[in-house]
Amino acid sequence: MSLGTKIAWDDTVLPFQLDVSDMRGRVARLDGVLDGILKQHDYPEKVEALVAEMALLTALIGQTVSLRWKLSLQVQSKGAVRMIATDYYAPQADGEPARVRAYASFDRDRLTDSAPFDQVGEGYFAIMIDQGEGTQPYQGITPLAGGSLSACAEAYFAQSEQLPTRFSLSFGKSTEPGVGEHWRAGGIMLQHMPKASPFVASNEGEGEILSAEDLVDGAEGENWGRVNILLNTVEDLELIGPSIAPTDLLVRLFHEEQPRVYDAQSVQFGCTCSEDRVRQSLSIYSAKDIEKMTTPEGQVTADCQFCGSHYVLDPTTVGFDAEDSEGA
């Protein structure tokens, strides 16, 4: 198999439901998406691992939400890795892929030899949902804690959405015979079926952080515990899945829970940057501000952090004053 050979279930998210235990979930496999994200930057391996984990979480969570436009995940920290930002853009039409993009900001000289999550310090993990023009954006945050970004995501769902949620993820550089070394990632998201609509803002969350186990008891607690015991048996190679289809994995793990699968959603690396968007972002600046941004060559330049696109603009056509004169 060559590097250009795409496995049928690469870059897909498969929704499923466990009828016996009243759970829903997703199986995600990312390959080309990670290549598209990571090849734009010269990240150290520990930063690549964090970006890969965030991209995988974004694909899993984004496909869970009834989304019209964009879901964003963000880490802000005081550590060596200052920020990780990801976006999931919903398909624009049936049959089209969702798009994922991601990037990280970090201080190279502050990186250590310890685990990837140790490269982030005190800070927060945020989930933001933007349903487009005319709607009110939603944001929820949780502290960076628990030893992994997936643990932060689990705490977010318990704290802000009161939804018991579990992630089991695997990601790393693949070294299959005959295939160039590249990043692969795979994971499973399990979630108790919500009693109310998800992603409703909550004022709870002060004090001690909730966990999934705090939200279930009785029969629900038994179901949650049983399914998590089954998920604990999954192996890393099964999650990454170069040789195991998502449907086969679900049968191996949860056959007694009567898994029911739905149509898989394809995902791809994709950026929404454009010259028009750059102009829009510069429209808040005055002519004096634009003059300070102008290079000795008489140009205003901008680079997209997500995809590396480079834009060169005429300074007389950007900024608040330029917009004002166009409208006059």
CATH number of the domain where residue 310 is located: 3.90.1280
pLDDT at 247: 95
| For residues 255-274, average pLDDT | 88
Q: Specify the pLDDT at position 328.
A: 38
Token pair of 196 as six digits: 């109310």
Q: Domain containing 284: what range?
A: 275-327
The residue from 221, 246, 269 where one domain ends is 269
Position with higher pLDDT, 170 vs 272: 170
d(Cα 142, Cα 127) in Å, to the nearest integer? Answer: 9
Q: How far is CA 23 from the centre of its chain?
A: 22
Boundary of a domain, candidates 243, 269, 295: 269
Q: Is residue 4 part of a domain?
A: no
Q: Are 100 and 194 members of one domain?
A: yes
**Residue count of the chain:** 328
Tell whether 146 and 281 lie within a shared domain: no
Please tell me whether residues 60 and 169 are part of one structural domain: yes
Is the Cα dihedral 290, 133, 93, 259 positive or negative? positive
pLDDT in tens, 3-31: 445 678 899 999 999 999 989 999 999 99
Instruction: Report whether pLDDT(199) > 60.
Output: no
List strand residue ranges (DSSP E) for 179-317, in order: 182-192, 259-261, 265-269, 300-303, 310-313
Shared-domain flag, residues 58 and 199: yes
Q: Are residues 155 and 184 in the same domain?
A: yes
Grouping H, G, I as helix, E, B as strand and the rest as coil, residue 147 is coil
Percent of the chain with pLDDT over 70: 83
Give the pLDDT score at 321. Answer: 56
- Is pLDDT larger for residue 309 or for residue 182? 182
Q: Comparing 129-143, 174-188, 240-254, which segment has the lowest mean pLDDT?
A: 174-188
Would the pTM of this model clear 0.85, i.e. be above it?
A: no
Last residue of a domain, one of 220, 241, 269: 269
Looking up residue 39, the CATH number of its domain turns out to be: 3.55.30.10
Note whether 174 and 308 are same-domain residues: no
Across 44-58, 112-126, 227-241, 262-276, least confident range: 262-276
* Domains held by the chain: number: 2
Asked if residue 311 and residue 201 are part of one domain, the reply reads no
283 shares its domain with 264: no
* Claim to verify: residue 116 and residue 242 sit in the same structural domain: yes
Dist. CA 33–CA 184, nearest whole Å: 9
Q: Is residue 42 a part of any domain in this protein?
A: yes
Is 112 a domain residue?
yes
pLDDT one-digit tens code per residue, 66-121? 778 899 999 999 999 999 999 999 998 888 999 999 999 999 999 999 999 999 99
Closest CA to 299 of 317, 284, 286, 283: 317
Residue whose entry in the numeric block shows the structure tokens 């008891």: 217
Q: Residue 196: what pLDDT?
A: 43
Cβ neighbours of residue 259 closer than 8 Å, sequence gap 6 or more: 16, 17, 18, 19, 250, 251
Kindly tell me if the per-residue pLDDT of 123 is higher than 90: yes
